[in-house]
Structure 1
Amino acid sequence: MNKVELIELISAGADIPNAAAKLALESIICRIMEAVSANEVVQIGGLGSFLQVNRSARMGRNPSTGLSVQILVIKSVVFRASSAFKRQINHP
């Protein structure tokens, strides 16, 4: 499913125009990104949590040359599915 298909499903499920569904989805995505960027955990009941994590510095290897390369600390985003979501996936 892509964003356009999701917007259509939201529109049909909430009985609102596609434009309103698109605006709502884009607002939700924007707010989640802002909160996680500010190092807040976003918990959506029944779905899961979005959180920021730091990946530690480590040594990597360039596959073409075989040379060791220092990989710097980076921030990443993790999604952890809720237990209800996991149950839905494993026992439809």
Structure 2
Amino acid sequence: MVAGTLTRADLAEALHREVGLSRTESSAIVEQILSHMCDALASGQNVKISGFGSFLLRDKGERIGRNPKTGVEVPIAPRRVLTFRASQMMRDRIVETG
């Protein structure tokens, strides 16, 4: 496999090749899956894909940061961040191919 970025179009093309759906149907399915995942995350749910990993929402509290250039302390507002944690199966696959 060539190093690079896997895109929506690549996923749709793989679905077209391996399942035999039309390119339009394949693209629509990829968009529906991604849209469903985004909606779930936006509503505060975590997304777990067995054998792949989990997309987790974390609330980070307010804290004091420092401007590295000037050294001035500034407050960093509380925020929600999205993190990904790969499953053990995915980690094992990455180690095998790496």
TM-score tier by shorter-chain length is 0.7 to 0.9
TM-score, normalisation: structure 1: 0.86
Once the 2 structures are TM-superposed, how far is the Cα of residue 5 of structure 1 from its aligned partner? 1.9
Q: What is aligned with 1:59?
A: 64
Unaligned runs of 5+ in 2: 1-5
Q: Paired residue for 1:49, among 48, 54, 72?
A: 54
Any residues of structure 2 matched to 1:49-88 within 5 Å, and which?
49-88=54-93
Identity %, equivalent residues: 28
1:39 aligns with 2:39: no
In 2, Cα distance between equivalents of 1:6 and 1:65: 45
SS of residue in 1 equivalent to 2:13? helix
Q: Is residue 8–residue 21 contact of structure 1 (8 Å, CA) maintained in 2?
A: yes
Q: Give the residue type in structure 2 aligned to 1:52.
A: L
- Alignment root-mean-square deviation, CA: 1.5
SS of residue in 1 equivalent to 2:51? coil
Aligned residues: 92
In 1, Cα distance between equivalents of 2:13 and 2:33: 16
Q: Paired residue for 1:3, among 4, 8, 30?
A: 8
Once the 2 structures are TM-superposed, how far is the Cα of residue 90 of structure 1 from its aligned partner? 0.7
Once the 2 structures are TM-superposed, how far is the Cα of residue 30 of structure 1 from its aligned partner? 1.0
In 1, Cα distance between equivalents of 2:16 and 2:70: 51
Q: Paired residue for 1:25, among 15, 27, 30?
A: 30
Q: Which runs of 4+ in 1 moved over 6 A?
A: none
